Structure 1
Amino acid sequence: MALTVHVAPAAVVPRVERVRVTLRCPGRGAGFVDEHVRVALPAPEGWARLGDVLHEESAAPGRAEWLASRYPGALVVAVSDGEACRLRVGACGREVLLRAGPCGVPPWPVIASLAHAFAGAGGGWFSATAAADVSHPPTRSQPTGW
């Protein structure tokens, strides 16, 4: 089955977005909608504490773990450095290293938002799908076709 994903961010203040992720899969009923606040660090004062998803560009070792401990309210923490991203999901989540594939560098903040949506939707969404079509508005640093 193919999963259809639509990611729709809306700016709140600079570096802070309210994101709506819609997951649809044939045979799974109405689908699943996840709404969360995604914060690009560094952010304006106080916003990191309110973020459900935090993203930072950094090559510092252990940065994802440090951010997760400093901002325990964030379900997803993503720290990217070009072609790699360290992703943590959940307060006790293990860090996962993601690398860009042959299609190029993905929009890491969008990947972090997808992780938040899948965590909220539950594991059944992973096991029921073999492929996903992801749509989102292009970001400044990402090509339109990703």
Structure 2
Amino acid sequence: MAALTVYASESAVPEAAGEREAVRRARVMLVHPVSGVLIVDEHLRVELPALAPWPRLADVLLREGDEEGGNRSAAELAAAHPGALVAAVSRGHDCWIRFATNGYSLTLSAQRSTARPSWAMWASLAHTWLMSGLPVAEFASVPVRLLLDHSPARSSSCPRSVRAASASADRERPAAS
């Protein structure tokens, strides 16, 4: 699959006045690499901890990890919030993403010297990937040019672009309960 150019922005959700940093409306656009159709995905992203009802309403959930295993923590987060399509746990330069649709796990790692957008933005990109119908297994291997706070109409300005340093994927299904 060819490299993707992705346009992303986020804004606070006015209804979440006390949770301005934790509750965000994300808008991610990409040109589908096969059909050429512009995919526009708007979703609710919540960074934990956040007050109720926001975690229950989230399409994408993200929390900081601890010393425990990242994949296991992402699986637990997804199991605790079955309504979210993407659950992500980050710690420093690593982020573990769990896709709720099929239990697929992904580990992203950034080089320490590389400027990168937040792991929250990458979790939002994972949601858009799902919504566009692209193969989840290819998310880790496709080069992505992420343009923050820009739209295709504004791409003639000097956008800030970044690329994930490396990623690995684990096909790990959550345990049945």
Q: TM-score range by the shorter chain?
A: 0.7 to 0.9
- Which residue is equivalent to 2:8? 7
The answer on 1:115 being equivalent to 2:126 is yes
Aligned to 1:33: 40
Identity of aligned residues (%): 39
CA distance in 2, matches of 1:78, 1:118: 14
Asked if structure 2 preserves the Cα contact closer than 8 Å seen for 1:39 and 1:53, the reply is yes
Structure-1 residue corresponding to 2:54: 47
Q: Distance between the aligned counterparts of 2:27 and 2:39, measured in 1?
A: 10
Larger radius of gyration: 2
User: Which amino acid in 1 is paired with 2:96?
Assistant: R
Deviates further, 63-72 or 84-93: 84-93
Taking the TM superposition and a 5 Å limit, the aligned residue runs for 1:1-146 are 1-12=2-13, 13=16, 14=20, 15-24=22-31, 28-59=35-66, 60-61=68-69, 62-101=72-111, 103-104=114-115, 106-123=117-134, 131-137=143-149, 146=162
**Counterpart Cα distance in 1 of 2:80 and 2:24:** 20
Please state how far the C-alpha of 1:22 moved relative to its aligned partner: 0.5
Structure 2: any 5+ residue segments left out of the alignment?
A: 150-159, 163-177
Q: CA deviation at 1:123?
A: 1.9
State the number of aligned residues. 139
Give the conservation status (yes or no) of the 8 Å contact 1:57–1:80.
yes
Cα-Cα RMSD = 2.6
Q: Normalising by the residue count of structure 1, what TM-score does the alignment of the two structures yield? A: 0.81
Select between 91-100 and 29-38 the one with higher mean Cα deviation: 91-100
